Amino acid sequence: MQIPDYFKFFNKTRIISGKKALENIPYELQSMDSVKPLVVTDKRSVDEGLAKILIDAYGDSGLVIGAVFDGVTGYTSTKAVLDAAQLFRARGCDSIIAMGGENCAFTAKALNLLVSYKTDDLLQFDSLPDNMHLRPFIVIPTSDSSGRETSTRSVIDGRIYESDELMPDIAVIDPRMLKKRGKAETILPALRAMAEAVEACTEDAANPMNDSFAFASIQLICENLAAAVNGGGSVKARLGLANGIAISGIVWSNAPEGIGSALAEELAMRTGNSRELCAAILLPHTLDYKLKNTKKSVRGELLLPVAGIDRYCAAAEAERGLLGVEEIFGMVKGMSKHIPVTLKELNIPRYILESTAEAVEDSFAKMYGKGGALMILESAYNGDGFSGGKK
């Protein structure tokens, strides 16, 4: 395991996971001197009955939910944050529960800034310290979660707010909240989360604390993705995925942005395809390029969470990095019936690849070599790999 001369790791979030995990929420809130939360969610979660499940879980606790705000949409807006803040104050709430995907969590995090600092001006939070005193904040991941729910970030109207204190206090993962989704909807968030966890432990700045979280995230996703997609969407598999995805947000928050994440963000912005899809397609090609074209290769430990202890122990030490990359190639290609696995399938023109590469080139050329970003994109476009440092 890689140990740098100096590193930092921070995690604020406790994870409560499993059967009837929701029933712990009243006790957990009381332990934080809170009794009346505002639930921030979206209409899909309400329509699926998740809000009712949460309310029923309060049972005879003696506590009540102050209100349910279901105004979160596919775009996180300042208006939604202000509307939620108005409801929070009108109902006398003292804490926040975000139930749903990253947009629900982003809205809840921004709401927490407003109600904690008694303001309606998000723009005053141009830069955030890491020692803020915010209201108690719980996230309940659903099948729409991406992992960013547990991260240090909120994005509202395209503006990024980031602080360690924006991490939730608790993530409550309950199988009742994990409804079955279509195969593509199941695959893409999981692969994006895995891509970010893999990248975190293959960067030069990796450290043993974040590695341990990253390996757990990768292993949970690898062990449960196929069963969640092909095995009838079993509850056990969905719960395993949800845990792996939730952990990835903590990992992502403790690692510098890597070239794969940067390319996925740029490519999504320029093509209109989802970040999840771009990250999934780029994942094996980024690793393959690093393995065969950089001085510091992919670490052999990656094979352990990807393929399991038996495969890891049976492999020669010098071959483990290559085998780990091959396993990830196989995993992504194995999803080709359900999602595109090459950029060519997305009909992306050549000039978009070039402009995307140019946008990240300056930040990563020193580490990955001049032209490396474009080589990764071209490999992902054609679906092939690199050999001996040459395509």
Q: Which of 177, 210, 245 is the last residue of a domain?
A: 177
Sign of CA dihedral 233, 234, 240, 243: positive
Q: Are residues 245 and 105 in the same domain?
A: no
Q: Average of pLDDT values for 230-239?
A: 83
Closest CA to 96 of 67, 68, 56, 138: 138
Distance between CA atoms of residues 245 and 145, nearest Å: 8
Q: Average of pLDDT values for 329-335?
A: 93
Q: Are residues 93 and 31 in the same domain?
A: yes
Grade residue 232 by pLDDT with cuts at 50, 70 and 90. Answer: low
Q: Are residues 171 and 291 in the same domain?
A: no
Contact 312, 372 (CB under 8 A): no
Beta-strand relationship, 137-141 and 153-156: unpaired
Grade residue 81 by pLDDT with cuts at 50, 70 and 90. Answer: very high
Q: Are residues 261 and 364 in the same domain?
A: yes
Q: Which of 177, 200, 225 is the last residue of a domain?
A: 177
Q: Are residues 232 and 159 in the same domain?
A: no
Q: Which amino acid is at 47?
A: D
- pLDDT given for residue 389 in this prediction: 41
CATH of the domain at 123: 3.40.50.1970
Q: Are residues 161 and 270 in the same domain?
A: no
State the Rg of the chain over Cα: 21
The tens digit of pLDDT for each residue in 16-61 reads 999 999 999 999 999 999 999 999 999 999 999 999 999 999 988 8
Grade residue 162 by pLDDT with cuts at 50, 70 and 90. Answer: very high
Q: Are residues 158 and 249 in the same domain?
A: no
Q: Are residues 188 and 320 in the same domain?
A: yes
* Residue 247, pLDDT above cutoff 50: yes
Contact 258, 203 (CB under 8 A): yes
Sign of CA dihedral 67, 70, 76, 81: negative
Contact 329, 383 (CB under 8 A): no
Q: Average of pLDDT values for 156-174?
A: 97
Distance between CA atoms of residues 356 and 264, nearest Å: 9
Higher-pLDDT residue of 386, 271 = 271
The tens digit of pLDDT for each residue in 277-289 reads 999 999 999 999 9
* Residue 388, pLDDT above cutoff 60: no
How many Cα atoms occupy the beta-carbon half-sphere of 210 within 13 Å? 28
**Of the ranges 60-64, 262-266, 329-333, 351-355, which one carries the lowest mean pLDDT score?**
60-64
- Domain-located, residue 7: no
Q: Are residues 69 and 143 in the same domain?
A: yes
User: What Cα–Cα distance (Å) separates residue 227 from each residue in 237, 276, 293, 326?
Assistant: 6, 20, 34, 20
Q: Read off φ and ψ for residue 328, nearest 5 degrees.
A: -70, -40
Distance between CA atoms of residues 348 and 368, nearest Å: 24
Q: 227, exposed or middle or buried, with CB in 10 Å at 0-12, 13-18, 19+?
A: middle
Q: Which of 177, 198, 215 is the last residue of a domain?
A: 177
Grade residue 205 by pLDDT with cuts at 50, 70 and 90. Answer: confident
Range of the domain at 285: 183-382
- Please give the share of the chain, as a percent, with pLDDT higher than 70: 97
- Domain-located, residue 202: yes
Q: Are residues 140 and 172 in the same domain?
A: yes
Q: Which amino acid is at 178?
A: L
* Residue 249, pLDDT above cutoff 80: yes
